Every structure is written in structure tokens, then in C-alpha cells.
Amino acid sequence: MAILTLVRHGESQWNLENRFTGWVDVDLTPKGEQEAVAVGKLLKDVPVDVLFTSVLKRAIRTADIALAEAHITDLPTHRDKALNERHYGDLQGLNKTETTDIYGSDQVLSWRRSYDIPPPNGESLMDTQARVAPYYEDQIVPLLQSGKNVLVVAHGNSLRALVMFVEHLTPEQILKTEIATGVPITYELDKDLHVVSKTILDPKTA
């Protein structure tokens, strides 16, 4: 058995401002830092051998704060843009309400909630999965197969792409799946990496 733990970063400044963030390197808010501390309290009871993050500071800082709180040190760490948030192209930096005023609610909804329709010069969820899934297979799967427990701290859409792959969800199913900030998800995996159990840890108990 191996444990795979997924954590979406704590609230970022542009989450707070309701902006499309994507690959823009925005930092955590004070609330986001508090969420990271709560994650760390929960991680005290979760085995972790290896850490993976995106290259964006909101994920890196969430991991750093959480691991410090959990008193986990000297963890082998891998950072890669393959785990970055979905790239929102021309929408990055725009307020989501203002974007609706510009493009119309139906168009914005199709960009945000479809599986394979990208925003202008950006990525769809399908495009995001096309980089996340191979990275998972190449870099993370061998560790899990060897019995290592892996923590991935990344972003809402890169983690949705990973959840889709791990749970074998359809495009329709993943569109209904949300990943909350600062709420760890743990999977217990068997030797073939089938999901034996899934637990969403409650920060309110931390």
C-alpha cells in the first residue's frame, strides 16, 4: 500500500480578488497562509516520503508552511511546471465578473466548465491533463509502486486533471469535481495503484 496526498494551495491574492490566475506567480494571502498551517496540522497524521509541487510560489509556500507545521524536514522535493495551474491565456489577470461583462456569461462558462474548450491563447482542462498525466506516470507512479508515500501540492485544475486520472473519471464526472483550497485529499493505493480508499481531511479538525 502507498498513500498519495493531494493539496491545493491556500488562498492566493488573486483568488481573493476573483481573478483568473493561471501561470501568474501570485503569492498567498494571510488567509492562505493560515490554510497552509491547518494543512500542516493534518499532515502530522499522514505518511509523506516525497514532495512534488508546481513551480509557482503559492504552491511552494503552501508546502513549506505545511511541512514546517507538521515538523517534516529533509523531504526529497521535485518541482515542475507540468503541475502548474491551467494556463488561462488572455484571461489571466482579469476579474471573473468583468470577463463575463466582456465576453458574455455563456462564453465564459464554456471556457471555465467545458473539458476541451480553451480560452483564447490558453489551455482547456484536457490540455492540462495532457501534461499532468504523463508527468504523474513518469515521475510519481514509480515511487508509489516502490511503496513511497507522495504529497503533491499544486492547483485546482492541475489537481482535477490528476484526480481524473487516478480515479478514472469521465470528462463529465470531472467537470462536477471541485478541489477546495487547503483541504488535503488522501488516497490509499494498492500495488496496482487502484484506489482502495479516498479521504478528504477536514481542516476544521486541525
Phi, psi of 75 (to 5 degrees): -90, 130
| CA 9 distance to own-chain centroid | 7
Strand, coil or helix: 181: strand
Classify residue 172: in a domain, yes or no. yes
Least confident of 67-76, 103-112, 142-151: 103-112
Partners of 5 in beta bridges: 151, 186
What the block records as the C-alpha cell of 129 is 491533463
**CATH number of the CATH domain containing 138:** 3.40.50.1240
Distance, in Å, from the CA atom of 56 to the CA atom of 171, rounded to the nearest integer, reads 26
- Residue type at 14? W
Classify residue 52: in a domain, yes or no. yes
Of the candidates 9, 69, 123, 155, the residue annotated as catalytic is 9
Distance, in Å, from the CA atom of 111 to the CA atom of 86, rounded to the nearest integer, reads 11
Classify residue 154: in a domain, yes or no. no
Encode pLDDT of 49-58 as tens digits: 999 999 999 9
Which residues constitute the domain of residue 98? 2-145+165-192
Distance, in Å, from the CA atom of 189 to the CA atom of 3, rounded to the nearest integer, reads 6
Q: What is the mean pLDDT of the chain?
A: 96
Of the candidates 11, 69, 85, 123, the residue annotated as catalytic is 85
- Residue 9 falls in the annotated catalytic set: yes
Classify residue 203: in a domain, yes or no. no
Classify residue 160: in a domain, yes or no. no
* pLDDT at site 206: 64
Say which residue the cell 470531472 belongs to: 174
Classify residue 32: in a domain, yes or no. yes
If one counts the domains in the chain, the total is 1
Classify residue 66: in a domain, yes or no. yes
Classify residue 126: in a domain, yes or no. yes
